[in-house]
Structure 1
């Protein structure tokens, strides 16, 4: 059951501006083709800190909030488009207007959220109405610090996909925490130059956006964990029956979830539901790691027959799709990246249009991103929720577990499908609900 929004009290809103003014030469940030093709959904991410370290345990909430505000101001100077204003689907006016920063108190212990995988975390630790919305009249990034009556705190962010992707979001949050720990830290180079690789267009991109971006639906969200031993067992299962002898954590987990989701759908409907697996992949490389903004493409596989559903075969098809994707870029010149990526987006849109009866499963992986290293000065988080939401059907985010030797999956599905998956015996042999 959802926790009541009435538990949130003392909401205070501030505007945090970049510590240094954005140089005149950077005031107009042109959107890249990829920025234009993507919708502006506000992606949520939250960090839960049940117990602050001794140094911070006696600090007042005002001191903690001020600590976060100052460091946020400094990191915004490096991620200046987030403090600006979007001009239609063309550019960002980097006018240093700032970002919204909310301070709230939550009248319940944090354990009520952390111990309930069905709790609607975003209802409490995110600003109301911001997570996963496609249209918001406020700033391009919105943040909130929440103080629980047990002494724990949560820090959350919602940043528009129109300006940043998961890679940029993770770097922003890590850099924010780095500056919070040491205000004199020198950050790595962060360059918003996507339009130099993917020049913007004046064409109507609705044929891509309408089919690639997800629709909002009423769904359930739940987290599942794959331990290191279960990952090893899944990999052994794949290796014994597949040409893929070195499957990655991402490959085996998303292939397994996709396979079991299709299997449970078959039980419900009585026959296999043709399905499409879509995975977002970073374009760094071939783009430099310093490139911020949106630098992602898509790979996919399609499953139409029951004999295509076994796990080794799904992993094999996924690996083949990845290798074909890499091959396209391996032989492409820098000035050909745009055409190659645009082709990938249009292929994905065409696949969805041409197969309207297929179920679509969306996967994104943040494995290897240091989300559990986001330490604002009082220790590492007890829990990270990278995409807790209840509105995007068949959406799955993979992140490292806190122990770093396992994988946590943040899942969003229709209620009937979620209940079927978490009752599937084969699924539960490898995955366990995580709190």
Structure 2
């Protein structure tokens, strides 16, 4: 008899991913099986990319793969069948799979909770049978570059870009590690191809063409999720509050600890900010709450005890916000170690839904890229966010009226003005500034 495996939100783990994170569709990165192959129970069927993380789908059946319903790089809505598996009659009596394939899914598949390696195998993009739009004649490369094993690998966002332009990944010379194809490589290839296709024939000289050349590029999964989240967020009235902090004392502490061989963790400015925000939240717990509008006529605040502080991260696939769980119970070194772990996973696309869900307030450190002030946009499930600017040296007056060197950092807060008034936001900002400027104060309540 035939069993059918699909992306069904009846699976307990997928229920967490789809309902709590708002996942409605995923992209197939690669199949681990092919039609006619034998599959064992709980062995991986395929690897997928959602707008949050990379993971595997495993098979709850043992049998022979009869049909794959989707190709590599296809986008699959939740609730659709992935494949048909021929299983031994009577082996799974409780599942009652249909004898003939039907359009709707009949059996759910549990999802493996361990994130798969995003670079586990070479892409099968070049072998995909999915029809693609005809492309202009390819541009002859000036020089044939030997392709390494990694040359056919790319993150899902780049795969989608390749597919939208009808480009074989092997035609593009990658500038990444070991020849890996990056987004800029694809865009340069498209620009060169379009330029060659639109160039006038030498025998038919024409006047200078000033018309704009445009091409349509679909949003990546992370961009799609950001589009939905920010559209929803900007329906919330934002209250903006800016301040500046003198961070000389924290810089001195960091310089002393940098020479301590007993602690290998690199200590940046950010863990101090995260800890200061957590300690301030104990005095202003409303900033750790969320607004419940499930009943529009009776909105209410949901107070949350744990401080799960989100950290905005710039990754190869876009901006993501994993969060550090229960910051109040962590030391500054523990916070630094967790930031390092999340950053490493973010760079390789291996963050799990658990890393990305449950945040209560966010810190966005734009200073490591550049910029002084920012107007950060709220996450819809939070009521406050802090943007941290770049540190800079400026002359300041000390208590004796003498001009000294001050290392200053600007803090930019945004709050949900439906429930947070300006005075509360200012008091919260002042308390964080006090803790940053006099870090010894954090020792009084440090866990």
TM range (shorter): 0.3 to 0.5
Q: Could you say which structure has the larger radius of gyration?
A: 2
Provide TM-score, normalisation by structure 1.
0.35
Q: Which has the higher contact order (CA 8 A, sep 6+)?
A: 1
Higher helix share: 1
